[in-house]
A and B are shown apart, each in its own frame.
Chain A
């Protein structure tokens, strides 16, 4: 198995002086292999979301390096980083974060449009992924006409449709009821196995922990336990 994510001594500190300094991520070095279904777990404020953002290139580390498929994204500029995220990473957020003026179909299609994929291929992929996430027939609905679970299904479809190597999911089940959360996790697990995509979650949801193939425990910005099942 090849390593797709590796961080070396990565730090993310907030604040300027000793009194206000917050070490959100403190010298973290991890390696995650292709196809892993990893959960970064820990209490609130432990740094799991910050680490996820650093891995996703949404935030810049104070020091250290973040390598995705051999590319140090910490050294990338805004546009190059945007392109890298577009082509290599899919994001699933706790609050779904769909574009409210787009339909489900358009939300999924948008990222492919950024990639310059032609209309026919976009259409084919949207139809296929909507079917995979069980959203056929709801393609034309805007987010405000979808339930939380349905919105998160669209978000999963949006994250996966461009065939990224890595899917980063920040508390994806936090706003969902238990049954919907389980259904979506099963769906993500199935997609993980079918497409061999690497999933990294930040969560404190037991359901995710139960399904994860690896649990990285964080506390006070440091990894305190790394267990592979």
Chain B
């Protein structure tokens, strides 16, 4: 207790210097927390947009469809699979899709288009497709009075073909059985704008697309949303064990390019944060060393009267940790309201940003134990490290030499 008291009082011995050091540590902590929050928040937002836009947390395909998509690599009779996924409590929702490249025609023009057949009801709860409808309304899977299915087209196709709601759209593609697929659809909705990633996509009701592509109830992809988005890898592995004939991949594999660039970016951020914290700690180390140097005589006396060298080193470490803890507590008082605001309000962007057809108007942070805990551990770890040379110096000094200094 007396050692604690000694360490505590030594901090307040040079108030101005301790205050400056504490301010530097507090600033470093707040900056680190904010940076961690922004980084985690941005990536979580990006991942949420990505996975909810279309990828989902897990995807199931036939064979190597993900790497080499071919129309004939489809999952036959997915009803049992769908029922199994519906019964899984860890799965929030799933949807079934078919894909095919095609050429879209109007009366006067044509343009390449990606046809995606979607289970309209399931898609509504699994992706943000319904929210991306910019004109018209989310279609249904029924044929109209004239026997046409409705289609939702990307704004790019609408523009290229100069068509709009209620106009006819002709699609030509290749069926899974090798036949030429062609059919006429009525434009029921426009999706996104001309910059959206869906600008060249035609969304059809699943049954219409299966009929168009001669797929007879089969699908190319099952996209799954989990209740816990952090368990994509584990759940994918569990599903893979249940479905050995299919390929089950978490979003990190499906969107490998995005995931790898995110990881690289995170490492870059970590290096950047490390540099900031290193700069802060060079200043702190200087303070700690100065404080030890000017008390050399005192350490000599403490050793002379019987303090063990290790105890002196422990006292210096304790002083540094106490100063770091006080600074982190101050930092917490500042950063908690800051991160609360950042998480629930965030920065308004001057112009809303289109992320996969969804408009993002704010940059927000993340509120989590990691955001506050990681910088705390980092600062305490650094505090211990920088106190080591000072402690070793105090411990190794001969009492006679130490007491000669002034």
Residues of chain A at the chain B interface (Cβ within 8 Å): 53, 56, 58-60, 78-79, 82-83, 85-87, 90-91, 93, 97, 99-102, 106, 109-111, 113-115, 158
Contacts and interface: CB of A to CB of B under 8 A. Distances in A.
A229 to B, nearest CB: 29
Q: Is the interface of A mostly helix, strand, loop or mixed?
A: helix
Contacts of A56: 304
B307 A101 contact: no
Interface in B10-32: 10, 13
Contacts, number: 70
Contacts of B298: 97, 99-100
Contact of A101 (B10, B310, B311): B10
Given A53-B400, A93-B403, A99-B6, A111 B310 contact: no
B5 A158 contact: no
B400 A110 contact: no
Given A99-B6, A106-B2, A59 B400 contact: yes
A13 to B, nearest CB: 14
A228 B305 CA distance: 29
A85 B304 contact: yes
Given A85-B305, A85-B306, 4 more contacts: A79-B308, A91-B305, A99-B302, A115-B306
A100 B399 CA distance: 18
Given A58-B399, A113-B2, A93 B301 contact: yes
Contacts of A60: 398
B306 A101 contact: no
Contacts of A85: 304-306
A101 B305 contact: no
Nearest to B302: A99
A91 B400 CA distance: 12
A48 to B, nearest CB: 14
B2 A83 contact: no
Chain B interface size range? 20 to 34
A121 to B, nearest CB: 14
Contacts of A97: 297-298, 301, 304, 403
B309 A114 contact: no
A83 B306 contact: yes
Contacts of B297: 97
A163 to B, nearest CB: 13
B298 to A, nearest CB: 7
B9 interface: yes
Contact of B304 (A58, A78, A100): A58
Contacts of B2: 106, 109-110, 113
Contacts of A79: 308-310
Contact of A91 (B304, B309, B310, B398): B304
Contacts of A58: 304, 398-400, 403
Contacts of B309: 78-79, 82
A101 B6 contact: yes
A115 B13 CA distance: 26
B199 interface: no
11 contacts: A58-B398, A59-B400, A60-B398, A78-B309, A79-B309, A83-B306, A86-B306, A97-B297, A97-B301, A97-B304, A99-B301
Most buried by B among A58, A100, A109: A58
B303 interface: yes
A78 B305 CA distance: 13
A106 B3 CA distance: 11
A223 B2 CA distance: 42
Interface in B298-330: 298, 301-311
Contacts of A102: 6, 9
Interface string B371-404: 0000000000000000000000001001110010
Interface in B314-351: none
Contacts of A90: 305
A82 B308 contact: yes
Contacts of B304: 56, 58, 85, 91, 97
Interface in B161-199: none
Contacts of A78: 308-309, 395
Contacts of A101: 6, 9-10, 13
B85 to A, nearest CB: 66
Contacts of B301: 93, 97, 99
A86 B6 CA distance: 18
Contacts of A83: 306, 308
Contacts of B403: 58, 93, 97
Contacts of B3: 113
Nearest to A114: B306
Contacts of B302: 99
Contact of B305 (A59, A100, A106, A158): A158
B325 to A, nearest CB: 19
Contacts of A113: 2-3
B350 to A, nearest CB: 54
A201 to B, nearest CB: 16
Nearest to B306: A86
Contacts of B307: 82, 86, 114
A178 to B, nearest CB: 26
A49 B10 CA distance: 30
Nearest to A101: B9
Nearest to B295: A100
Contacts of B303: 82
